[in-house]
Amino acid sequence: MEIKDIYIVVIVLLVIFAGIIGYLFSLDRKIKKIENAGKQQESRDK
Amino acid sequence: MKKYWWKILAVVLLTYTIIAGFLGNVPDIAGVHQTIRNLYFHVCMWFAMIVMLCISVVYSIKYLSDFKAKNDIIAVEAANTGILFGILGIITGMLWAKFAWGQWWVNDPKLNGAAIGLLVYFAYFVLRSSLDDNNKRARISAVYNIFAFVIFILFILILPKLSAGSLHPGDGKDSAMPVFTLDFNLRIVFYPAIVGWILLALWILDLRIRYRKLKM
Amino acid sequence: MLTKEIKSLVSKDIRFELRQRSAINGILLYVVAIVFICYLSFLRVNIIDGQTWNALYWTILMFASMNAVSRTFVNENPNRQFYFFTLASPQAIILSKIFYNAILVFILSMLSYFFYIIFMGNKAQNELMFIVCVALGSIGISAILTFVSAISSRTNNNFTLMAILGFPLMLPLLLILMKLSEFAITGTDWLTALIYFLLIFLIDAIVLVLALILFPYLWHD
């Protein structure tokens, strides 16, 4: 069956969506790393 | 919150929304036809925005009761995220208007009401930027937040009375939309979509709060 | 106790005003000027239907009220002001200011109405309804604007900030007021208008209560 236009729309949207989610995840991981480093500092200070 | 399960859930739900939203069956409603699919995006944005603004006002109240800085941070970031979704909501609304009614902006109380709501919260940020002392800023903007939120909610509730006979789908009877007359096909995507978008909003909020706390 | 405080605060404000007359004169001039300008600009068009009349009226009133209320918390003599405020409770202060401003706004509105009739003819078929609507509206407008003025008095940029904060917050009330005064103009019966009256009353009550509860937080400085 030929590729309907609507499928292309969905795929494009999914790609954009994946990009956004990927960005959010990377932010999440970065923040988590900094937070963990901070926590280790605290527990070492104690 | 650093657990991942609800973030994964958000991604799953939204992926489902995107796929099913466009490929699923929708009833052919006169006037809107296929554009009813925007329901899963535009209306959900409003819900997410309302949730964010509720969180913002709750934490403003909390701040006024114990004056802890972290409550103020949550209040501000929630307002920020709420405005983000509000803007997205208006953009999706304009897109919908263009295709359903032929114009980008109609003189409709609901649209104007949404714009006014955003103005109210923009004023909130202007107020914050004009105060320097942290405590004073937090306190005064908390007061404004509560005041503005109540008036905003009153406004939303009153709009249906004023808009009997507007173009917006679902006016004259309900304020949000005719949930009771929603077709089943629409419902199976709509309800998960609401949850998905709200979870996404919460995720963004969570990231912003943690980022602010780190900067402190 | 509270009512006595409020009464004395309001009478103090009124006496100040009568003595100095700075605010009233300025605002009077403002109103007359605007109404006259509208009259001149509509001379050409020649048709002022009820709706335009109505919309213009509320616009003028809104700007005039903002002008009037922006002066509530400007301390000409900060020491004396401070002395008064240590004597009275914050609730009394905010209520007295709101009450004073409500009277002011109502006087403004009636003056505008008067000049409107002179220049552009009286379009209101049900005058009593119009006046009652405006009276209730004055309370609400005054409450919102006075509170916003209190907020912006805590910062440095007074009038701009007040306009930015106050304008969107006034809009819901204004929309209902406009609808109601439209009813008064077209002469609708009281029964259909009743629900709008209740709405305005509700908004007034809620805003007043909010202002009462929240003002003390602004005040502790």
Contacts of C200 in chain B (CB under 8 A): none
- With touching defined as 3 or more inter-chain CB pairs under 8 Å, the answer for chains B and A is yes
In this predicted structure, what is the pLDDT of residue B135?
84
SS (H, E, C) B76-93: HHHHHHHHHHHHHHHHHH
SS3 B54: helix
- More confident call, C149 vs B16: C149
Contacts of C196 in chain B (CB under 8 A): 161
CA distance C3 to C89: 11
| Residue A45 neighbours by CB distance under 10 Å | 6
Mean pLDDT, chain B, as a whole number?
78
Contacts of A10 in chain B (CB under 8 A): 18-19, 22-23
Cβ-in-10-Å burial (0-12, 13-18, 19+) of C159 comes to middle
Counted domains in chain A: 1
Token pair in block for residue B108:
């409709």
**DSSP H or E run through C60:** helix C50-69
In this predicted structure, what is the pLDDT of residue B67?
84
Q: Which residues, 6+ apart, have CB-to-CB distance to A20 below 8 Å?
A: none
pLDDT in tens, A1-46: 566 777 787 788 888 888 888 888 888 888 888 888 887 877 777 6
pLDDT in tens, B119-152: 899 999 988 888 888 888 888 889 999 988 998 8
Full residue range of the structural domain in which residue C110 is found: 2-219
Specify the length of chain B in residues: 216
Full residue range of the structural domain in which residue A14 is found: 1-46
Positive or negative torsion for Cα C121, C126, C132, C136: negative
- Which residue of chain C comes nearest to B125, CA vs CA? C165
Q: Which residues, 6+ apart, have CB-to-CB distance to C54 below 8 Å?
A: C123, C178, C181, C182, C185
In this predicted structure, what is the pLDDT of residue B174?
34
- Which residue of chain A comes nearest to B11, CA vs CA? A21
pLDDT in tens, B159-203: 776 665 334 444 433 333 444 456 676 777 778 888 888 888 888
DSSP classification of residue B104: S
Counted domains in chain C: 1
Contacts of A28 in chain B (CB under 8 A): 7, 207
Q: Which of B15, B18, B211 sits opposite A31 (nearest CB)?
A: B211
- More confident call, B201 vs C25: B201
Is residue B8 within 8 A of residue B158, CB to CB? The reply is no
In this predicted structure, what is the pLDDT of residue C144?
92
Mean pLDDT, chain C, as a whole number?
80
Segment C157-164 shows an average pLDDT of 80
* ipTM of the complex, rounded to two decimals: 0.82
Is residue B46 within 8 A of residue B23, CB to CB? The reply is no
- More confident call, C175 vs C11: C175
pTM, two decimal places: 0.82
Assess B207–A contact: CB distance below 8 Å, yes or no.
yes
Token pair in block for residue C196:
């709008």
